[in-house]
Amino acid sequence: MKKTALLFAGQGSQSVGMGRDICERFECCRTTFAQANEILGRDLQKICFEGPEYLLTQTDNAQPCILVTSLVCLEALRSQVPNLTFGAAAGLSLGEFTALTAAGALSFRDGLNLIQQRGRFMQDACNSTSGSMASIISMDDTALVEVCLEADVDIANLNCPGQTVISGQKDKIAKAVELAKARGAKRAIPLQVAGAYHSRLMQAAQEKLGTVLDEVTMHESSVTVVHNVTARPAVGVGEIKNLLVRQVTSSVRWAESMEWLIGQGYTHFIELGPGNVLSGLMKRINKDVEMLNVADSATLDATVAKLAA
């Protein structure tokens, strides 16, 4: 029997109009957006459907918008494939909260409230620091670690073989980019982001999130959830909370997380949420697994057809 894992999108995948065509088609998805609006006391649906882009891109908007859109994509898939089963889930950065919600560890209300507060804490940290990030392409891992130490920046994302994202103060990232180019990186590209995510510059956000998480009721996941910090499942609710807090300043070990799932026998993956970034990363991690995605009505139909084949 094939083993299926669900993957949930992270920040940067957002686009104006996300979720709209699926909501036009499925009443259950419209209901979910209405519930989200009620929980947060603001019109999240309008930001997703109409933007403008600068508003959607703000961290405190992008994170809850992506979480809701990703869960709406899952609802739409379940409405078309009622017997859908999955044994594991994972999410990139904020997507980890979506995965935990899909797995029943968090209620929809708690998951949404948590990710909105996380987004606000991170936006505040961005506003109070001068941070940046850069993507380093095709550089020896040992050499990149040396560059990060010399420039005093952090490794934020280990996305796939040959692609690593670094994070830190703007001037230090600029130095790291030049060092990386000089020491063998095929490309070193500064990213257009609001701040230095998954770095020490997010320390204030991490501390605030820890305080909030202490008050949240969480349950054991119904399926295996692989966490960004360890690239492994957690043992117990206490460890889940601890890993969610640590994730704010820690490296996202995405490639290793996918390799662990594949090592556990998972051969089928479904990316849920806007864009197809995770599908692209999987092609670099392992080309032998089946990778499907649901981002809109067209990709939903294609995925349903593949699952039925």
Q: Which residues pair with 136 in a beta bridge?
A: 164, 188
Q: Are residues 96 and 183 located together in one domain of the fold?
A: no
pTM of the model: 0.96
Query: Above pLDDT 70, what percent of the chain?
Result: 100
Long-range contacts from 249-252, C-beta under 8 angstroms, 24+ separation:
249/154, 249/198, 249/199, 249/200, 249/202, 249/203, 249/206, 250/198, 251/154, 251/155, 251/156, 251/157, 251/158, 251/198, 252/10, 252/92, 252/93, 252/156, 252/157, 252/158, 252/159, 252/198, 252/228
The CATH number of whichever domain residue 293 belongs to comes to: 3.40.366.10
Catalytic positions: 93, 198
Q: What is the pLDDT of residue 78?
A: 97
* Residue 161 shares a structural domain with residue 52: no
Tens digits of residue pLDDT in 146-178: 999 999 999 999 999 999 999 999 999 999 999
User: Are both 69 and 83 inside the same structural domain?
Assistant: yes
What pLDDT score was predicted for residue 153?
98
pLDDT tens digits along 109-120: 999 999 999 999
- For residues 152 and 208, state if they share a domain: no
Region 274-281 average pLDDT: 96
Residue at which a domain ends, from 169, 191, 213: 191
Q: How confident is the model at residue 234 (pLDDT cuts 50, 70, 90)?
A: very high
Do residues 175 and 269 share a domain? Answer: no
Helix (H), strand (E) at residue 5? strand 3-8
The pLDDT score that the predictor gives to residue 104 is: 96
User: Is residue 1 predicted with pLDDT exceeding 80?
Assistant: no
Amino acid making up residue 287: K
Q: pLDDT at residue 108 above 90?
A: yes
pLDDT at 163: 96
Q: What is the mean pLDDT of residues 54-70?
A: 95
Mean pLDDT across 130-134: 97
pLDDT tens for each residue of 184-209: 999 999 998 989 999 999 999 999 99
The answer to whether residues 302 and 271 belong to one domain is yes
Residue 166: CATH number of its domain: 3.30.70.250
- Per the structure, how many domains does the chain have? 2
pLDDT exceeds 90 at position 40: yes
Residue 109 token pair:
């209300």
% of residues, the chain, pLDDT over 90: 97
**Residues 29 and 160 placed together within one structural domain of the fold:** no
Report pLDDT for 122: 96
For residues 48 and 151, membership in a common domain is answered with no
What is the pLDDT confidence band of residue 309, given thresholds at 50, 70 and 90?
A: confident
150 is in which domain, residue-wise?
130-191
What's the angle, vertex CA 201, arms to CA 200 and CA 207, rounded to 5? 80
Give the torsion sign (CA, 268, 239, 73, 282). negative
Same structural domain, 165 and 272: no
Average pLDDT value over all residues in the chain: 96
Stretch 120-142: mean pLDDT: 96
Same domain, 135 and 159: yes
Last residue of a domain, one of 191, 213, 241: 191
**Do 162 and 245 belong together in one domain?**
no
Q: Are 90 and 220 within one domain? A: yes
Q: What is the pLDDT of residue 192?
A: 86
Q: What average pLDDT does the segment 133-147 reach?
A: 96
- Average pLDDT for residues 268-272, to the nearest whole number? 98
Confidence (pLDDT) at 6? 98
pLDDT tens-digit readout, 253-269: 999 999 999 999 999 99
Q: What is the pLDDT of residues 2-14, one digit of tens each?
A: 899 999 999 999 9
Q: 140, 170, 191: which is the final residue of a domain?
A: 191
